[in-house]
Amino acid sequence: MRRKKDRPRETNPDKTALTRRDFLKGAGVTVSGGLLVGSKAADAAPAPPEAGVVGPGAVPVTLRVNGKVHKLKLEPRVTLLDALREHLDITGSKEVCDRAVCGSCTVMMDRKPVYACTVLALEAEGHEVTTIEGLAADGKLTPVMAAFVRHDAQQCGFCTPGFVMACTALLERNPDPSLEEIEKGLGGNLCRCGTYWGIRHAVLDVAKGMKGGAYGKV
Amino acid sequence: MEAFEYASPNTTRDALQLLGSQWGEIEILAGGTDLISAMKDRITTPKRVVSLKKIKGLNRIEFSERSGLRVGALVTIQEILDNQMVREHYPALREAADGIRGEQMRHMGTAGGELLQRPRCWYFRNGYGQLAEYQGKSLVPDGQNRYHAILGNSGPAYFVNASSLAPALIALGGKVRLHGPDGEREVELGKFYTTPTKEGEREYVIKPNEILTEILVPPPHGLRMAVYEVREKTALDWPLVAAAVVLHMKGRTVKSARVVMGHVAPVPWPSPEAEQAIEGKTVTEEVAEEAGKAAVSKATPLSQNGYKVRLAQVAVKRAILSAMKGEA
Amino acid sequence: MAKCKYDWPQAGERELIGKRIDRIDGPEKASGRAKYTYDTNRPGMLRAKLLTCPYAHAKIKSIDLSSAQNLPGVKATLVIQGPGSEIQWAGDEIAAVAAVSDDIAEDACRRIQVEYEQLPHLVREEDLDRAQAQGRTKAGGEETTGDPGKAFQDPEAVISKGYYGIPVITHCCLESHGNVAEWPDAKTLKTWSSTQNVSGLPGQLGAGLRLQKVEVDDSNIETVCQYIGGGFGSKFSPDRWGIVVAQLSKLAGKPVQLMLERNIELEMAGARPSAYAKIRVAAKKDGTLTAWDSESWGTGGVGPAGHPPLPYVLQPPNTHWKHTMIAANVGPARAWRAPNHPQACLLTLGALDDLAAKLEMDPVEFLMKNAHLAPQGLGQVYTEELQKAAELAEWKKNWHPRGDKTPGHIKRGMGVSLHTWGGRGHTSSCNVIVRPDGSVTVRLGSQDLGTGTRTVIAISVAETLGLPVEAVKVEIGDSKYPPDGASGGSTTVGGVSSSTRRGAIDALDELFAAVAPSLGVQPAQLEAWNGRIRVKGDSSKSLTWKQACAKLGVKTITTTGKNPGPCHLNDSGVGGVQIADVSVDTETGQVKVNRIVAAQDCGLVIDLKTAESQVYGALIMGICYSLFEEKVMDETLGRMLNPNMEFYKLAGIGDIGELIVHMMTGPGYDERGVIGLGEPPVISPGAAIANAVANAIGVRVSTLPLTPDKVLAALDKGGLA
């Protein structure tokens, strides 16, 4: 194998970050800072103060989650999902794809469903965040949860909270969805065990029981 | 994700103050599904993120018979789907939005962000850049190119533009309003996208110090329109190909047509060939078929994506027929 | 009347067994309260990240962690594979960092400097000649029975030749692999692990740690797994990262969590071996199978992997198979739900379907005709299941010979497949505890992968004690409980239902002994019935369960139930038939599943609801690998291009069609005892769907997944379009 003395590009945090492509370009011997290079982050010199600019170090954040106010100090890069799971120990929302595809991290912001993995915690400030824990705060199952149990719409259960959130949001917006609307609306959630059959029936069942737009008012 | 500093200004003017002149140094955050994911993948490692969320007025969607449709950059996909005016006057735009799946994506995804999303190319997403260069040449032609471009692919870019809304908006004659340090300008969406020739260039003409604030769509008088997507999944996924068709009818004859394909080239790909094939004609199955063929007559498929030529042909045909649905 | 003390109750006497009962942990999961390993937040816990190799094949020249170690917030670092190590797949672990946050651990990983020498790699194996030319092949077995040479030369033989294949796919467990490790003191390790093997993990962890010079006794290791977010065969071992997290925890003196990032999970935490084959198969003109000949190949990574059992299920008198293993620099193979069977099934049932088409025979009739070639006892099962599935799929009405001749570009087709699996109950032990206050606990070191294990245990014990399901508290998921086998190979339900049945019967015996004097009868005259202990058949002489337990005084009953053990409670060997009904758009090559019917036996069904869920889930997983899944490798880079959930495509809720599940139960099935169900129904979907597509468009699409490009290419070669 050809050897090439290709010293690593500088990974000094103050310098411009390299992309992975930059160091993968070299063949033969390659020195890399891991899969992905260039941390200019953690100890970057503080930016000159500019109006309204915060970070990159931790900044105070106030999150309102399930009706409760939490004061935290977080770096701007911390996602809402990580803030919930790692800082607040609210772990119903799961980290799975971590790239806004699978829906396991779904929470509601002002009752609208979002992928918490791609919401910055800072961006959740000023909004009411509802996690699955907040849907059944009194320990009683919501109609959607109860339907999931009844229709066995869960196996390992890891996608389940995300699905329950997405179903709840869908039904709050559209209490009487067609099958096509369910399939499109829940198209942002993935399950690996294959519980879609039960989920489909659970949603139709709840919708049927809630005809007339009553969902969410019960 | 790399650490970054963050700002969420209240006005476009304040936001502009916070932008820079180099791509990648500062990123503008709207819905976040693409940007935050791209930052996690280190596709972009901005030192500053400027959020548009607090800027008032960017979430408005307005329609008038005279001036047409105005969609603020922060209007969500769900708001487009729910909008009665869009439903009535721009069904193709609604169909395009309907291809974006999942309650979450529809509530997070914004019109502006949708237009400015980065390519889905798996070489790009794995860190090899838009041009997927490795050891001095592109990985795409001899690599795994089943999802890559069949048109406009003479290199060095082979990815496809990922926007679902752009083909429909271009076919409708849409424009975008850009705010920059020297004021605002309007750019036709048909001229908004470009194919990068160097790594680090972006896929559109907007500058790093400009903000896309609004999408403008002309009034839809006398138009028939449709979008047709060929997808692998009904679930969240980017289409294999899409076609948007807008027909200006005179009686039963197509007076003029706009045909724009999506996911076939590094930019949304208008097809004057297909337009020519239907203009002045009454739409029949055969005419639509011919237009489909014309649309891909100049396609230059790569080693694995010849099937996309067929799909694009079919998408154009079906979009035309769909646009004419209900026509006696 | 039971012939043997522990026998399952007869059909008429079952209150719970075989009914549709909600899973008992359903509310915990549906409400988000269920805590998984990923959800474990221990006080002061650090988060660890792995640095992995970006090359498919490389030697490590040097590694420098100093910059990572100097980063504030980093508490421990570890070189996993140091200079001199040869890395055989992209994504393999090089080093690890534990830090106060995920982000800092990641920042630190990116500062680690590794110098690699790249070595030649091979990551795409479909082209056997190419692999051979690169010296990447190794004999994987060969066998001949009868005289296939002669059978193929028979002038009367109808012979079909074809090429079939199924690529490497991954497990893609939604909860990625990982553990939390904590040392409460220098000698004691506790882990929270996402594992299919709670009881077995401490021994593996101990052995792994001692190899790394960390002294710990297995008896001082406790593993906990209350909930696991998917395993599918990929989570039997603690894996190297499981050892690493315990080392990091020891180094840092704090609890550490290490969960794999999604890209690493997809690159290396589970690959199902590929299988490609050139197949010849022969039959008499009446459809009787006479001969099989296959040359197959596939990869399970650089190491050896099993071979698909060919021909699958139906064994003609004359067979020859030869398998070649290809050493490819992809992540190592792991058991994937029904190891080797889905591959063998696709290859075999695809080839047989093509032969039936050549014979101009209805494939259901063809399989009926050859069902006698199945292993002993299964022929009858297949016949019944073929009939049932055909009836539910309206086969007679909907099936047509190859090539849908109706006009238009949407072509509909039907395909059939069959499969088998063992599934005998694993070794299991449990404690059944009955307290004087009437409370009942059953405790064992098992795990519930989402199959319904907890519920099955509760039903087994509740049925035996004559109690409602809710009366039984099930405690599993902790290695300090009586050991239970790993959950793999469909062995759990047979194991845990049998051990808990035996334990519960013994507990009842002790209770009867305590109660009998007060009812003035012999213990043998008592029975548990409907929440009471009564004199057999005489409710007037009875005590409520609580009253009866009060007779224990201060004594708590604790019995140990085991499997294997006396009486025939579980068995092995099931059949299963599936019929797929699809539509194919011949202009776009899109395949849409309209319906899949599954007729499945598994002996005595304990919980019909969770059993049916296993089958529904397997059908959906089958649709995923039939239509979408593929580990896409780039030969130049040696890397997986789709290590994310956008491009590693899984079906969504709208991509599954209608599913019909029929469990074969009743006489002929129930008396076999309990048999596992996890694997069998996931075996057939590939073949059933591929055969349905061939039936629709008149030509075989050779390899899964059945994507538009391949469907259109097949049509170009001679379909209907």
Structure confidence by residue, pLDDT tens digits, C580-596: 999 999 999 999 999 99
**What distance in Å separates residue B221's CA from the closest CA in chain C?**
33
Q: Which of B144, B230, B240 has its CB closest to that of C632?
A: B144
Q: What is the pLDDT of residue A24?
A: 35
Q: Do A125 and A145 fall into the same domain?
A: no
For the cut 90, the answer to whether the pLDDT of residue A210 exceeds it is no
Average pLDDT over residues C419-433: 98
Q: Do A69 and A115 fall into the same domain?
A: yes
In a domain, A187, yes or no: yes
In a domain, A126, yes or no: yes
Report helix, strand or coil for C175.
coil
Q: Do A175 and A142 fall into the same domain?
A: yes
Q: What is the pLDDT of residue C719?
A: 62
In a domain, A23, yes or no: no
Cβ-Cβ contacts under 8 Å, C103 against chain B: 1, 3
Which one of C21, C23, C25, C31 would you mutate to disrupt binding with A, by most A Cβ within 10 Å of its Cβ? Answer: C31
In a domain, A36, yes or no: no
The CATH number given to whatever domain includes residue A79 is 3.10.20.30
Cβ-Cβ contacts under 8 Å, A170 against chain B: 103
- Among A132, A165, A184, residue at a domain's last position: A132
In a domain, A32, yes or no: no
* HEC sequence for C601-638: ECECCCEHHHHHHHHHHHHHHHHHHHHCCCCCEECCCC
In a domain, A203, yes or no: yes
Q: Which domain holds residue A71?
A: 59-132
Query: Band of the pLDDT at A200, cuts 50, 70, 90?
Result: very high
Cβ-Cβ contacts under 8 Å, C617 against chain A: 155, 193-195
Q: What is the pLDDT of residue A137?
A: 74
Cβ-Cβ contacts under 8 Å, A22 against chain C: none
Q: What is the pLDDT of residue A139?
A: 82
This model of the complex carries an ipTM of 0.97
pLDDT (tens digit per residue) in A22-67? 333 333 343 433 333 333 444 444 445 577 899 999 999 999 999 9
In a domain, A218, yes or no: no
**What distance in Å separates residue A178's CA from the closest CA in chain B?**
14
How many domains, in total, are found in chain A?
2
Query: Band of the pLDDT at B327, cuts 50, 70, 90?
Result: low
Determine whether the interchain pair A91/C644 forms a contact, defined as Cβ–Cβ distance below 8 Å: no
Q: Do A195 and A143 fall into the same domain?
A: yes
Determine whether the interchain pair C261/A98 forms a contact, defined as Cβ–Cβ distance below 8 Å: yes
Q: Do A66 and A127 fall into the same domain?
A: yes
- Among A132, A152, A187, residue at a domain's last position: A132
- Among A72, A103, A132, residue at a domain's last position: A132
pLDDT (tens digit per residue) in B43-95? 999 999 999 999 999 999 999 999 999 999 999 999 999 999 999 999 999 99
Interface check for C652 against chain B (CB to CB < 8 A): the answer is yes
Q: What is the pLDDT of residue C118?
A: 97
Q: Do A142 and A198 fall into the same domain?
A: yes
Determine whether the interchain pair C175/A200 forms a contact, defined as Cβ–Cβ distance below 8 Å: no
Q: Do A180 and A203 fall into the same domain?
A: yes
Cβ-Cβ contacts under 8 Å, A103 against chain B: 102, 104
For the cut 80, the answer to whether the pLDDT of residue C327 exceeds it is yes
Interface check for B293 against chain C (CB to CB < 8 A): the answer is no
In a domain, A50, yes or no: no
* Cα nearest neighbour of C173 on chain A: A192
Q: Judged by CB atoms within 8 Å, which residues 62-91 of A form the interface with B?
A: 75-77, 79
* Cα nearest neighbour of A200 on chain C: C653
Model pTM? 0.95
pLDDT (tens digit per residue) in C173-191? 999 999 999 999 999 999 9
The CATH number given to whatever domain includes residue A192 is 1.10.150.120
Q: Do A85 and A143 fall into the same domain?
A: no
**What distance in Å separates residue B310's CA from the closest CA in chain C?**
7
Q: Do A167 and A112 fall into the same domain?
A: no
**What distance in Å separates residue B234's CA from the closest CA in chain A?**
7
Average pLDDT over residues C431-460: 98
- Neighbors of chain A with 3 or more C-beta pairs under 8 Å: B, C
* HEC sequence for chain B: CCCCEEECCCCHHHHHHCCCCCECCEEEECCCHHHHHHHHCCCCCCCEEEECCCCCCCCCEEEECCCEEEEECCCEHHHHHHCHHHHHHCHHHHHHHHCCCCHHHHHHCEHHHHHHCCCCCHHHHHHHCCCCEECCEECCCCCCCCCCCCCCCCCCCCCCCCCCHHHHHHHCCCEEEEEECCEEEEEEHHHCECCCCCCCCCCECCCCCCEEEEEEECCCCCEEEEEEEECCCCCCCCCCEEEEEEEEEECCEEEEEEEEEECCCCCCEECHHHHHHHCCCECCHHHHHHHHHHHCCCCCCCCCCHHHHHHHHHHHHHHHHHHCCCCC
Q: Do A204 and A145 fall into the same domain?
A: yes
Find, among C3, C28, C465, C481, the residue nearest to C222 by Cα.
Answer: C481
* Cα nearest neighbour of C629 on chain B: B232
**What distance in Å separates residue C117's CA from the closest CA in chain A?**
5
Cβ-Cβ contacts under 8 Å, A39 against chain C: 107-108, 110-111
Q: Do A164 and A185 fall into the same domain?
A: yes
Owner of token pair 């106060």: C100
Interface check for B104 against chain C (CB to CB < 8 A): the answer is no
Q: What is the pLDDT of residue A16?
A: 35
Q: Do A114 and A157 fall into the same domain?
A: no
**What distance in Å separates residue A158's CA from the closest CA in chain C?**
5
